[in-house]
Structure 1
């Protein structure tokens, strides 16, 4: 009798079950169809009236061979106002304009490389009202031994600010890593209870051990791959102050395979002077994210705020700009599109640029170089190119295809109006500055620091380059801050997206130089923006961050001494 009681048969697979062993487990509740006793596939699940939602297979390559997470991600909140607005005809769309480098080309002349600026601008946040696309965000935080003390305190404060500013339709997961990686917050909606739980988990983080960036990203990948539900916008934030000690070969090996298709951008933040800037830059480049150098410890929260301000204002996704030649003699010779992939058709009659996401109010500028043929005797205007922009509206969930301004030049018989388009000149300056930065970085990596500094000093495209020149002038300075600042600046300019607020801002004027043309001093930044490419939503989030920090500082300051009050009262 005692032997029979100790080994009861499983009611599902008829295998032996030890005394007190549970039959209906969490595996069953979450849709796993293998018996926990014999591992056979079950035909019928207890209390299951319909099959569970399909999960994407996990892409984790960690040696622990993890399966899918057993706790569900929170389902997203349906936005009825968005559903009702999808068929509205009066919504704002991406505006696309063109600017020719000159207004006219003599009728009998041809031009071998004529620049046309294609300028796309996403609608502002006000145009979409109070609606925005909900966000799935995974923060991947370095908690290695070097993060002890003030560093980790500041990171906790920054992540706390992010949590405070996410809405109830947004979902957040937190992954920490040192020698290994752990998901400390599941992908949960940031309603009041979700925020409280996430803050408690973040506050409990402790530093210690080595730096395994690759494992942190693999756990983040697993979290995103295992989602049953998906919000419209997905992104990852990675912060590290060290160098990965577990990937011996290429930096690109840090990026999980599923991220290399740019399924979600990874925005990386290199903290301090000891982090591997090249690794962090590569992770961002491979996934369509930005790399920011956080030089000042106090600027971590502002940097996170700027990034999250952009992510919470994603307006357009899968943006693609296409140009097509109109006149039969016009040909596309090339496109300057920075980090965005461009394609020119074999017959050079069309080209396209894949842009990806656009934040509200965000702009993209691309130089398209075309061959302008000599005009016919009676031809007064030559139509050069037509431009279209296709994308998916992130808020409304529908696809759009809008036409931009056509580019055309006048064809006078002899006298050609003088003057250059300042829009085209400004873009040439920006492109030249980016190319100078890349050339200087290559020289510095070869150990030619004097040459690197000379490239930047001779460029004179912006005072930003003068600051960088000082950072590359010696090996010591380059290793400490120069490489990180250079890569951060290159990432910003090539993607035309704001870099970290921690690096000293350039002035908004350009001294006359190779790229300035005849216009002399040229205004770059536009207005009084503290950072190139920063959108109003990004700037506003930084203001909120600083205001909250100021209030916290004021409330924690000790009151003035009583004697001081009495003295003034007297």
Structure 2
């Protein structure tokens, strides 16, 4: 009887609670939910997963309630008050350590995340306790997207899917609800950034020992491929030929693919093998203009990067707005490191102004102060705005601005004394300072990419990472030597790469630096060929390459097998014209026209700039390679035409033309792929390596877990210029 009365009283209390919360489901109903909810519950996050700005310590103002840049997940506090210790949906206790993530709404009321997600999914968008209408709602799971259900919070969609998939996988391996963020998330920054995590020496030793068995005089992964092409195969003995052009073509070894261990199981497997570990510092804009979708897309892109870094790679993240702060030191991307990196990235909120110089200086300090070094080092810089704290030349001729004065001396590679760490800069949207970011990348030996379309940011990062994770050659120097005693070097056209010639012009040097797997370089060298009645065949040049293997750390000396020669017949006859030389001449001609047009546009002469590009297009159309339907020539013409259209008026040039031209110049001068605009065809038609292309494909495949769900690059929406408070 007593048991019956107790049961009756409990049932009465339950009915009252149910009536008071009539918009909610009974606990039992949660178990019979849709497949989408089941999949979400199955991948339930542990209490250690922290995705709210309130959890971070990035140096920015921390709100007590979720902002549009967060997913709304909060780590339950150890000292929660009793009034907040019970989930009013399931009436169960919310205790840390039980493997349940907690959602705290902007009205400050908290619930089990899986409970409130189910409630919101069924149409309820108000707080079950205070009836406040929510602006930010818990996101729907990836399975809902695949079944065509609309996402309820468009602002926060970038914070889940791929990012959440990684978080679930990492947190499943160590479900410890009492686990807190590392102390360095909250500690003040040290004066010296020498607290980087020890590199994986065991990996390094193992790789070296295994490779030493196969090291040869050429290269453990294969030798650099070197080819030389004279512009014509023969010059008559009685004739001279000034500015005779020779093409030097290099192709890096194939290398082997590497699996970070964090790849999506639905994607094709990637073979595991050795590669050079990377130290990567990302310097990310978190100013007020990055709010909403921009910041969400940045978090998604960073999630992709973190997922594809291996346990021997190290990552550090710098966030900047009015000030800059290091979110965490260089840490290896083990399971724990990845999880903490994802937590830190997703803690970002957007506010304040744009101090690019401060962010970059702090990123460079991470590189210069580190105790340990991985073989490959790089900095990624992304911003959507102009540095309003250090640049006073807005509205003036950007080509004459003293941007280099803002950059740390340690990244200058022009005199050979710099850090030799390239900065790959990404200008995001229509309002960024492309001239500044191009200057940064050019000075450091990196690349500048223009991310015009919102949906391309992850692909742009993927392409860059695909290169950094496939470095097979470092510190490459090419030596060109004249063989015939009467020959002397004229010019060496190598784009942005430093060149030098010996006093007697018999030797020339090109400092190339790093090469990605299967990456190619083309350099044009000119010599003057004199009259020579004494020989039937004239030796011209020989090429030698000096570089360092990034894995074995050994120096490699590779010499081309054959000396380049040309025939010297008595009379003019049939001779072979090199199409390869003509193609590279066209590429250089187009790059020179782009630079000239850009200079004219910065002077305000847009009509003159368009005319320069039109003249170049006409000249290209009359070349031999164009008449034979050469694909490179066709692509160059399309690129020049696109630039003409983006110089049609001042507004278009300011919003996208300048950035598009500078990204093109960066790509051609370094002969390395950059992202440009929103068209796949003009992104990197001849410089993208197979590994970079593969990484972009993986990025596109992982979008919403379905390749067909993602808009194509051509259909991607472009930014429009709009004023932003700074």
Q: 1:154 aligns with which of 270, 279, 297?
A: 297
Contact in 1 for aligned 2:675/2:684 (Cα 8 Å) = no
- Equivalent in 406, 424, 430 of residue 563 of structure 2: 406
Question: Can you list the C-alpha shifts for 1:338-376, whole angstroms capped at 9, x where unaligned?
Answer: 000111222111111100110010011000001111123
Partner of 1:559: none
Quote how far apart the aligned CAs of 1:470 are.
0.6
Give the structure 2 partner of residue 268 of structure 1. 425
Report the Cα distance in structure 2 between the residues aligned to 1:86 and 1:115, rounded to whole angstroms: 40
Q: 1:255 aligns with which of 402, 407, 422?
A: 407
The structural deviation recorded for 1:506 is 4.9
User: Which one of 544, 547, 554 corresponds to residue 391 of structure 1?
Assistant: 547
**Mapped partners of 1:216, 1:290: distance in 2:** 18
Structure 1 residues 83, 149: closer, same or farther in 2, change over 3 A?
same
Matches for 1:251-400 after TM superposition, within 5 Å: 251-260=403-412, 261-377=418-534, 379-400=535-556
Name the residue aligned to 2:198: 74
Structure 2 residue corresponding to 1:84, chosen from 210, 223, 228: 210
**Which consecutive residues of structure 2, in runs of 5 or more, have no partner in the other structure?**
1-187, 259-271, 393-401, 413-417, 621-636, 711-726
Alpha carbons of structure 1 residues 262 and 71: separation in structure 2 relative to 1, 3 Å: closer
Alignment partner, residue 106 of structure 1: 236
For residues 207-230 of structure 1, what are the alpha-carbon distances to aligned partners after superposition, in whole Å with 9 as ceiling and x for unaligned?
A: 000000111111112211221111
> Aligned residue for 2:645?
470
Range with bigger deviation, 158-167 or 240-249:
240-249
Match of 1:564 in 2: none
> Where do residues 54-65 of structure 1 align in structure 2 (5 Å cutoff)?
none
Could you state the TM-score of these two structures normalised by the residue count of structure 2?
Answer: 0.63
Match of residue 490 from structure 1: 665
What are the within-5 Å matches in structure 2 for residues 202-217 of structure 1? 202-217=345-360
**SS of equivalent residue, structure 1 residue 252:** helix
Structure 1 residue aligned with 2:226, among 73, 82, 96?
A: 96
Q: Secondary structure at the match of 1:498?
A: coil
Q: Secondary structure at the match of 2:646?
A: helix
Q: Aligned pairs, how many?
A: 471
SS in 1 for 2:202: coil
Q: Does 1:441 align with 2:595?
A: no
1:132 aligned partner? 275
Question: Is the alpha carbon distance of 1:200 and 1:326 closer, same or farther for their aligned partners in structure 2, counting shifts above 3 Å?
Answer: same
The answer to whether the 8 Å contact 2:368/2:419 transfers is no
Residues 342, 68 of structure 1: CA spacing in aligned structure 2 closer, same or farther, 3 A cutoff?
A: same
Instruction: Give a deviation string over 1:20-49, Cα, whole Å, max 9, x none.
Output: xxxxxxxxxxxxxxxxxxxxxxxxxxxxxx
1:175 to 315, 318, 328: 318
- Residue by residue, what CA displacement relative to the aligned partner does 1:99-152 show, whole Å, maximum 9, x if unpaired? 000000001111111000011111012499821100000000000000000000
Alpha-carbon separation, structure 1, partners of 2:212 and 2:407: 36
Matched, 1:543 2:673: no
Aligned to 1:226: 369
Tell me the residue number matched to 1:36.
none
User: What is residue 40 of structure 1 aligned with on the other side?
Assistant: none
Q: Deviations over 1:155-197 (max 9, x none)?
A: 0000010000000110000100001001112211001110000
Choose 218-227 or 67-76, whichever is displaced more.
67-76
Question: Larger strand proportion, structure 1 or 2?
Answer: 1
SS at structure 2 position matched to 1:96: strand
2:613 is matched with which residue: 437, 456, 481?
456
The 2-side partners of 1:418 and 1:305 are apart by: 45
- For residue 472 of structure 2, give the secondary structure of its aligned residue in structure 1: strand
TM-score by length of 1: 0.80
Backbone CA RMSD of aligned residues:
2.0
* Residue 416 of structure 1, CA deviation: 3.0
Which residue is 2:175 aligned to? none
- Partner of 1:52 in structure 2? none
Shift of 1:65: 11
* Kept after mapping to 2: 8 A contact 1:498/1:534: yes
Residues 422-476 of structure 1: per-residue CA shift (max 9 Å, x gap): 1100100000000000010011011110111111122124211000111112111
Alpha carbons 1:272, 1:296 under 8 Å: kept: yes
Contact 2:199 2:312 (C-alpha < 8 Å) held by counterparts? no
Q: CA deviation at 1:504?
A: 2.6
Identify if the C-alpha distance between structure 1 residues 392 and 553 changes in structure 2 by more than 3 Å, giving closer, same or farther: closer
Question: SS at 1:114's partner residue?
Answer: strand
**Residues 105 and 416, structure 1, Cα contact 8 Å, conserved in 2:** no
Range with bigger deviation, 122-131 or 325-334: 122-131
> How many angstroms apart in 2 are the aligned matches of 1:113 and 1:340?
21
